[in-house]
Amino acid sequence: MAIREISSSPYLDQKPGTAGLRKKVSVFQQPHYLENFVQAVFDCVPALKGATLVIGGDGRYHNRDAIRVVVAMAMANGVGRIIIGQGGLLSTPAASHLIRKHDAAGGFLLTASHNPAGPDGDFGIKFNIAGGGQAGEGLTQRIYERSKAIDGYRIYEGANVDIDRRGTVVIDRTSIEVVDCVDDYAELMQGLFDFDRIADWISRGNGVRFDAMHAVTGPYAQRILVEQLGAPAAAVINATPLSDFGGGHPDPNLVYGKHLFDLAMSEGAPALIGASDGDGDRNMILGKGIFISPGDSLAMLAAHLPRLPGYRSGLRGIARSMPTSRAADHVAKALKVPLYETPTGWKFFCNLLDAGDVTICGEESFGTSSSHTREKDGLWAVLAWLNTLAVTGQSVEQIAQQHWHRYGRHYYARHDYEGLKGPDAEAVMQAFSGTLGALPGHKLGDWEVTLADEFSYQDKVDGSLATGQGLRVVCGDHARIVLRLSGTGTQGATLRVYLERYESDPSALGWTVADALAPLRTALESLARIGELTGRNAPDLVT
């Protein structure tokens, strides 16, 4: 057993996206591809030497092989202690919590989040820093620059670690601990929510259904919902993590979670239906007869959170990404707390969380969480809704209707145009950008344009500036159109269009989303010319 220096040549495509490096499995299986990226991280984060490192993943295909590589390289690069989730599994929020609990210098998360898995699917890796948050823009760029110049890596040969057996082994100078992937996370949730009250609510016949989508949250949901809260075993479906996620798409939305929507609209629907994604950081919430959009979920949870045990001291602030529905803004105003609007990417929330400026934050891409961790947390959102239902004694629909009558309703939809040719996607952005300068003061449908620009963000904590964060046309509080290119795909370009309309008149709170947004869809085509420039007559996905 020895440390070997392996020569390699750089790959020039290792620029991380919104949350890490995501590529096809076949790309990661190229000689030295994963190793080069991991070495670039070690070279850029010297604090890992002698420190604690957390490693885990969502269980997708190539997860175990990748973990063996990362462990061997961590040993060769002088990491003092390695903590691994049993079976190589750790949900993203659970990994973030372990980093914080053990004062680790960082963690490697092997995941491509909501992207499909399997031999022909996607794989990904991201580095979370000390404190549990995602690597910031500066570190991400340094890692990318290093990856383009790297000429070799260090790896420890002969380190055979049984990641399926809990316990601690010491190999050479490195302590390696395999831990139960659920224990610490479940303990954290017990400190935030009233488990006794939720269990009583469930025992009184209020049905729950949670879809783990054959991804990482299955063991978490079974432990917490079934074993600790007393829900029947059938309450958790698709609970066994599979390397191909059962052939499904682990993205909890109205397209890939249509079976859950159909269940919610059926006779005898459970009181609460939830789902999470591949790595456990996204969520979908439905009640009997109703779907709760991510922006509404953020706003409704923010309004009720101070009634829950872990948040009775009140909210310090609320944060949302710029494209996310502005529903939370009205709650922040009513609670007299700050509202922060950031670019897309959870890392932008982390500085606010670390500074103690916000308690709850969320993104339109089905991500919600609080100050308990530094990642979005799908199961946390489900438990927060369960506790809210138990405390209020209301149904999901009653909570929503009450909220809309108090704060008004934000009709909202995201249209995804996936797999576009890069030049076509850029052409749309350029066409839309070219209209912005002339729009303020003119009409967009029935509304006057008050702002048309490209969003940028100056971090109030570290002063960093993020530019090029999406194009937007704003009509005061009444309506918005936002365009941006996504950073989470692995093939082609994904154009995302966000449409939002606000209504406070009680007579306008029962429209369908499609009808409410029809005027904005018409205006969008004249401004962005998506059909003309891409040949696409409709989006691939509407959520």
Q: How far does CA 442 lie from the centroid of its chain?
A: 36
- Give the SS3 label for residue 253: coil
Number of domains in the chain: 3
Q: Same domain for 414 and 388?
A: no
What DSSP character marks residue 9?
Answer: -
147 shares a domain with 191:
no
Task: Give me the CATH number covering residue 8.
Answer: 3.40.120.10
Size of the chain, expressed as the number of residues it contains: 543
SS3 label, residue 176: strand
Residues known to be catalytic: 113
User: pLDDT tens digits, residue range 253-306?
Assistant: 999 999 999 999 999 999 999 999 999 999 999 999 999 999 999 999 999 999
CA distance 126 to 121: 17
Tell me: do 210 and 84 sit in the same domain: no
Select from 353, 388, 407 the last residue of a domain: 407
Domain closes at, from 153, 180, 207? 180
251 and 387 share a domain? yes
How far, in Å, CA of 330 to CA of 308, rounded? 20
The H or E element containing residue 221 is helix 218-221
pLDDT tens-place string over residues 41-60:
999 999 999 999 999 999 99
336 shares a domain with 282: yes
The DSSP output letter for 135 is: P
Domain final position from 157, 180, 203:
180
53-57, 155-159, 187-191, 288-292: range with lowest mean pLDDT: 155-159
Q: Is this model's pTM higher than 0.85 or not?
A: yes
Instruction: Quote the tokens at residue 157.
Output: 């040969």
Task: Name the residue range of residue 500's domain.
Answer: 409-542
Domain co-membership, 155 together with 191: no
* Spatial separation of the C-alpha atoms in residues 280 and 295, rounded to whole Å: 18
Based on the fold, state whether residues 327 and 263 are members of the same structural domain. Answer: yes
**DSSP E strand boundaries for 322-408:** 339-342, 360-363, 367-370
Query: Any idea what the CATH number is for the domain that residue 468 is in?
Result: 3.30.310.50
Q: Give every CB contact of residue 510 below 8 A, 6+ residues apart in sequence.
A: none
Same domain, residue pair 446 and 473: yes
Using the 8-state DSSP alphabet, how is residue 488 labeled?
S
Kindly state the average pLDDT of the residues 467-488: 92
Could you tell me if 123 and 53 lie in one domain? yes
13 and 29, same domain (yes or no): yes
* Cβ-count burial 287-296 (b if 16+ within 10 Å, e if not): bbebbbbbbb
316, 440: one domain: no
Q: Which residues touch 457 (CB under 8 Å, ≥6 apart)?
A: 322, 341, 342, 343, 348, 465, 466, 469
Residue 488 has pLDDT above 60, yes or no: no
Say whether both 422 and 358 belong to one domain. no
Block residue for tokens 């991400």: 140
Tokens of 462: 């570290």
3-state class percentages of the chain: helix first, strand second, coil last, to nearest 5: 35, 25, 40
